[in-house]
Amino acid sequence: MSGQAIICGGSIGGLFAAAALLRTGWRVDVYERSRAELSGRGAGIVTHGQLIDALAHVGADTDELGVETRERAVFDKAGDVVATMDYHQIVTSWDRIHQSLRSLIPEAHHHLGKSAVDYETGKTPRVTFDDGSVAEADLLIGADGFRSAIRARMLPQVQPAYSGYVVWRALAKESDLPRDVHEAVFERFGFYLPAGLQIIGYPIAGPGNDLRPGQRRYNFVWYSQVAPDKLADMLTDATGQHHAMSIPPPFVRDDVLSAMLAAARAQLPDPFFRILEQSERPFFTPIYDHLSPAMAKGRVALVGDAACVARPHVGMGVTKAAGDALTLAGLLGTGDVPGALAAYSDTRVPAARAAYDRSRQLGDWMLLDPPGGNPDGRNNPNLHDIMRLTAIADF
């Protein structure tokens, strides 16, 4: 049985849901708040086998998906390798995944500049957008991210919680890296794990998915503790305007960037600091998480970050969204929409909880700061576990 679905949110979760439903004969319309086509500022995304299978299942192109790293390595403050692990993993970029899914959605059914503000549930769900227009269908999917308007209506008690740390992200061109820095870190999935902070870095494709050596980029992720009052200051722009929860990168004040670079110079191994120096303007994101106790009600379902955000240590956001989409599309074949959505929620809430719990465990280990702890990143008691469990989907 098929029908018509409204999908609010045209990022990876929404496009995965649209592509999966289209393959089962559903008609879909995607409504995205942004007025312009989305772009992910080049952010790196680690992949897992489940994600590559899901992309292939919906008909997305999986050729030349990204750069393959073959080894993980932990560095100490002096820049020496203190632990390694063989692990093959393809690291791709948000843009690469988004573009391959976006190409599967017919233009006539993809609507930009449409922000859902509310919905009603009668016999069929009816969504109201900020321009006053409405849309009605057999099924409504909230794929509108961690501050989801659809979830706010369905589960108002679920609120994202601040973790106590932010992530600074930066991208450096491979060709800009000094030779010694390139040799030390570029080809490996690298970690720096002293008490209280964490660095993860890996190579990704260059602009336009360019995988040629010399044309790639290094993706740099630095988790850094920030107290809530200091975070409020970092989220305030140069005009004094405070941005709730996160701040668009161009609005980050110069003095916030200068303070970050000074801290990086003092705290990071030299190769990582030099990569940061060579990077395009770094930007930060406060880390929040949340877990919805249900992922559907009646004829309304939540997918991806709207349903659950696990902190990024597990690298599961995109894979989890893909799993939500494929499970939902598979169950909807039965013809009973409310019944399929109830089964969907029963299946996917435990999957979301597993990622959420694992990511909190990894975050808690990072924040351990025993007196006289391991300032050089050599003797972290959980060093091998962090390397073995980060961004690996074995739960």
Q: Does 317 bind ligand FAD (CB under 6 A)?
A: yes
Question: Which residues lie closer than 8 Å to 140 by C-beta, 6 or more apart?
Answer: 5, 6, 8, 119, 125, 127, 150, 299, 300, 301
Q: Tell which one of 2, 4, 34, 382 touches ligand FAD (CB under 6 A).
A: 34
Work out whether 115 is an interface residue with ligand FAD (CB under 6 A): yes
Among 66, 203, 271, 312, binds ligand FAD (CB under 6 A): 312
Task: For residues 64 and 34, give the distance between their C-alpha atoms in angstroms, rounded to a whole number.
Answer: 28
Closest contact distance (angstroms) between CB of 58 and ligand FAD is: 14
Applying CB under 6 A, does 14 fall inside the site for ligand FAD? Answer: yes
145 forms part of the interface with ligand FAD (CB under 6 A): yes
Considering the rule CB under 6 A, would residue 10 count as an interface residue with ligand FAD? yes
Does 190 bind ligand FAD (CB under 6 A)? Our answer is no
What is the closest distance, in whole angstroms, from the C-beta atom of residue 347 to ligand FAD in the complex? 17
Find the part of the chain contacting ligand FAD (CB under 6 A) among 4-12, 258-266, 357-365, 378-386.
Answer: 4-12
**How many helices (H) and strands (E) in the chain?**
11, 18
79 or 203: CB nearest ligand FAD: 203
Fill in the per-residue mask, 146 to 185: x = in contact with ligand FAD (CB under 6 A), - = not in contact: ---x-----------------x-x----------------
Q: Which of 18, 26, 33, 299 binds ligand FAD (CB under 6 A)?
A: 33
- Binding residue (CB under 6 A) for ligand FAD from 5, 65, 105, 116: 116
Query: Residue 32, interface with ligand FAD (CB under 6 A)?
Result: yes
Does residue number 38 form part of the binding site for ligand FAD (CB under 6 A)? Answer: yes
Cα(60)–Cα(141) distance, rounded to whole angstroms? 21
Q: Give whichever of 206 and 315 is closer to ligand FAD, judged by the CB atom.
A: 315
Which one of 42, 304, 323, 377 is in contact with ligand FAD (CB under 6 A)? 304
> According to CB under 6 A, which one of 29, 95, 187, 305 is a site residue for ligand FAD?
305
Which contacts qualify for 262-271: CB closer than 8 Å, 24 or more apart?
A: 263/224, 264/222, 267/194, 267/197, 268/192, 268/199, 268/222, 269/75, 269/76, 269/77, 269/78, 269/79, 269/192, 269/199, 269/377, 270/79, 271/75, 271/79, 271/180, 271/181, 271/184, 271/185
- Integer angstrom CA distances of residue 262 from 192, 259, 282: 18, 5, 13
137 burial type by CB count under 10 A (0-12 exposed, 13-18 middle, 19+ buried): buried
Q: Are the beta carbons of 145 and 136 closer than 8 angstroms?
A: no
128 binds ligand FAD (CB under 6 A): no
The answer to whether the beta carbons of residues 150 and 44 sit under 8 Å apart is no
Interface residue with ligand FAD among 321, 349, 355, 389 (CB under 6 A) is: 321
The reply to whether 285 sits near ligand FAD by the rule CB under 6 A is: yes
Residue matched to tokens 């190409």: 103
List residues near ligand FAD by CB under 6 A: 8-14, 31-34, 38, 45-46, 115-116, 143-145, 149, 167, 169, 221, 285, 304-306, 312, 315-319, 321
